[in-house]
């Protein structure tokens, strides 16, 4: 009996090795496609991805896989925690993926490869009609997917569950209503009474070559080991990785907006730090990635906002900016830079939105996705609906779809139900900050320029655990109390009341 379990475990390890290999191969191809691949190669790449994703489907759902996983599941008591967790995760994938017919699964991967190339061009040219047919297919697939995965659930709940286990519209509606209730009055007050700082970067250019050097400094400043993490350039910043030894972040440089890439690098750097600090014993298993998108966004938004936009970080950042851009930064004070990094002002682009209005961008997407999946909004009407909500929540007119419905890469990447993770992650981060403050003088650590104590806290409580536990359990282990969105709203109200002297 004992020997049999060892054999099964060896067989599991072989399956996992193959899955990780195919995931890396397809992942590198997607990364390559987003960074340097010539555009014209999309169709050929589609053929290759079809071949590889068919193998992945077969590895995940094949009969041998089912027999193996069920056999191991039956003797769970004998398994070490890492193996047991791998079995339950793979069994979950097995049950879920098996519900999707292989041809549809593979066709969807091919569609996404194509949609990504089309979206990229459509965004640059602000050409919604070019992307609309792809978005229609993506929404149609996701509606079918929801029915395959959990026919007993509301379709959008089935999709949310993919990114955050157990997340539902009911929970999100409650969460967003707290945010709306407590943040919208503050946003209105700032608009009415707050004095907006002057735009100290207006009319200046920040050469990309120098911005690249700034990225190097930022990665060093937050503690990324470049031996295991590289930086590329893409239309839309993202992070990807295949183990703690190979993580990639990307950014996008805007000549006239140095803070755009700056905070993208710190945001993606937060994602990277998480992956780079998963425990060694989880490497080579399916648990070596982050636990869920909300926990991931918690790390990235924590680094971007709580650390990156703090007074201490700005204090250390200013001399570096002055060194790299002596003319452009001449005469800019620390207070001016801090205010520039913490402007609260309705804006069009989510990734560049300030901390305070950010969650309204997420809310807008959440509400539109709900309607698309429920079938109460047609894809062709999406730009109009987007623009109407932008006016309603943020008071802004959208001048071009490039800066509206086409701005994000998530939908073209097939992710519907992902956006709420951003707001949830931000809220998780504020609650963790309160917890960290119980044992660390966070402001002093940031001001010291050496974030090691914060990284150590997060490594112990969150990062090292990879996907060994469910995301809500990881959050609970770290925060030591249930999630409460009021930590987030209090943090924002306190910070921005101070920034705007209200």
Q: Left if phi > 0, otherwise alpha if psi is -120 to 50, otherwise beta: which for 312? A: alpha
Q: Which of 77, 102, 72 is nearest to 88 (CA)?
A: 72
Q: How far apart are CA 53 and CA 108, in angstroms?
A: 10
**Three-state SS letters, 24-68:** HHHHHHHHHHHHCCCHHHHHHHHHHHHHHHHHHHHHHHCHHHHHH
Q: Quick check: is 268 catalytic? A: yes
State which residue, 29 or 150, has the beta carbon closest to its own copies.
29
CB of 27 closer than 8 Å to CB of 240: yes
Closest distance to its own copies from the beta carbon of 300 (Å): 19
Closest distance to its own copies from the beta carbon of 372 (Å): 33
Closest distance to its own copies from the beta carbon of 246 (Å): 3
Query: What residues have CB less than 8 Å from 246, skipping those under 6 apart?
Result: 24, 228
State which residue, 234 or 415, has the beta carbon closest to its own copies.
234
Closest distance to its own copies from the beta carbon of 213 (Å): 11
Q: Are strands 229-233 and 239-243 parallel, antiparallel or unpaired?
A: unpaired
**Facing residues of 17 across strands?**
none
User: Which residues here bind its own copies, judged by CB under 8 A?
Assistant: 17-18, 20-22, 24-26, 28-29, 31-32, 35-41, 43-45, 47-48, 50-52, 207-209, 225-230, 232, 242-243, 245-248, 284
State which residue, 240 or 472, has the beta carbon closest to its own copies.
240
Closest distance to its own copies from the beta carbon of 17 (Å): 6
Closest distance to its own copies from the beta carbon of 74 (Å): 28
Residue 73, both tokens? 């599941």
Q: 3-state class of 231 per DSSP?
A: strand
Closest distance to its own copies from the beta carbon of 31 (Å): 7
Closest distance to its own copies from the beta carbon of 25 (Å): 4
Count of CA atoms in the C-beta half-sphere (13 A) of 55: 14
State which residue, 208 or 444, has the beta carbon closest to its own copies.
208
Q: Which of 433, 423, 422, 427 is nearest to 478 (CA)?
A: 433
CB of 269 closer than 8 Å to CB of 249: yes
Q: Tally helices (H) and strands (E) across the chain.
A: 21, 3
Q: How far apart are CA 456 and CA 445, in angstroms?
A: 12
Closest distance to its own copies from the beta carbon of 210 (Å): 10
Q: How far apart are CA 401 and CA 399, in angstroms?
A: 7
Exposed / middle / buried, residue 107 (Cβ in 10 Å: 0-12, 13-18, 19+): middle
Q: How far apart are CA 456 and CA 464, in angstroms?
A: 10
State which residue, 43 or 374, has the beta carbon closest to its own copies.
43
The catalytic residue among 2, 136, 205, 268 is 268
Q: How far apart are CA 277 and CA 299, in angstroms?
A: 12
State which residue, 32 or 193, has the beta carbon closest to its own copies.
32
State which residue, 20 or 169, has the beta carbon closest to its own copies.
20
Long-range Cβ pairs for the range 75-83 (8 Å, 24+): 75/5, 78/2, 78/5, 79/5, 79/9, 81/468, 82/281, 82/282, 82/285, 82/287, 82/468, 83/9, 83/12
State which residue, 221 or 229, has the beta carbon closest to its own copies.
229
Angle at 261 between CA 257 and CA 267, to 5 degrees: 135
Query: What residues have CB less than 8 Å from 207, skipping those under 6 apart?
Result: 255
Name the CA radius of gyration of the chain, rounded: 23
The two most distant CA atoms of the chain are separated, in Å, by 75
State which residue, 51 or 388, has the beta carbon closest to its own copies.
51
Active site residues: 268
């Amino acid at each position: 009996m004992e020997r049999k379990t060892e054999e099964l475990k060896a067989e599991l390890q072989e399956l996992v090795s193959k899955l990780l290999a195919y995931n890396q191969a397809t992942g590198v191809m997607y990364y390559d496609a987003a960074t340097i691949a010539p555009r014209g190669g999309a169709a050929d790449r589609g053929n290759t991805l079809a071949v590889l994703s068919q193998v992945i489907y077969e590895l995940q759902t094949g009969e041998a896989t089912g027999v193996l996983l069920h056999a191991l599941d039956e003797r769970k008591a004998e398994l070490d925690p890492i193996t047991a967790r791998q079995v339950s995760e793979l069994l979950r994938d097995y049950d879920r993926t098996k519900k999707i017919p292989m041809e549809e699964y593979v066709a969807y991967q091919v569609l996404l490869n194509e949609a990504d190339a089309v979206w990229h061009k459509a965004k640059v040219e602000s050409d919604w009609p070019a992307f609309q047919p792809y978005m229609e297919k993506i929404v149609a697939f996701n509606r079918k997917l929801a029915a395959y995965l959990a026919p007993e659930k509301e379709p959008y709940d089935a999709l949310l569950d993919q990114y955050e286990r157990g997340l539902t519209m009911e929970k999100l509606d409650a969460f967003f209503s707290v945010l709306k209730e407590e943040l919208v009055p503050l946003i209105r007050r700032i608009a009415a009474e707050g004095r907006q700082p002057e735009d100290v970067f207006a009319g200046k250019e920040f050469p990309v070559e120098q911005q690249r050097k700034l990225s190097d400094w930022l990665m060093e400043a937050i503690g990324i080991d470049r031996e295991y993490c590289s930086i590329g350039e893409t239309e839309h910043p993202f992070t990807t990785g295949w183990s703690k030894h190979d993580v990639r972040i990307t950014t996008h440089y805007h000549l006239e907006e140095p803070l755009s890439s700056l905070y993208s690098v710190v945001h993606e750097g937060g994602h990277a730090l998480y992956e780079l600090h998963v425990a060694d014993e989880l490497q080579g298993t399916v648990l070596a990635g982050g636990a869920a998108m909300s926990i991931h966004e918690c790390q990235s938004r924590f680094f971007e906002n709580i650390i990156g936009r703090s007074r201490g970080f700005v204090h250390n950042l200013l001399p570096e900016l002055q060194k790299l851009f002596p003319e452009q930064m001449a005469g800019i004070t620390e207070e001016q830079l801090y205010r520039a990094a913490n402007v609260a002002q309705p804006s069009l682009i989510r990734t560049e939105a300030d901390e305070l209005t950010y969650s309204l961008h997420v809310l807008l997407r959440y509400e539109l996705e709900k309607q698309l999946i429920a079938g109460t909004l047609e894809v062709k009407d999406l730009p109009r609906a987007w623009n109407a909500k932008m006016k309603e929540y943020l008071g802004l007119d959208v001048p071009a779809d490039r800066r509206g419905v086409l701005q994000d890469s998530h939908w073209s990447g097939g992710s519907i139900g992902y956006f709420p993770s951003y707001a949830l992650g931000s809220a998780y981060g504020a609650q963790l900050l309160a917890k960290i403050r119980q044992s660390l003088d966070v402001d002093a650590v940031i001001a010291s320029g050496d974030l090691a104590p914060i990284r150590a806290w997060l490594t112990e409580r969150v990062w090292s655990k990879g996907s060994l536990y469910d995301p809500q359990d990881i959050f609970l282990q770290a925060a030591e109390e249930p999630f409460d969105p009021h930590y987030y709203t209090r943090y924002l109200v306190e910070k921005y009341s101070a920034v705007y002297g209200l």
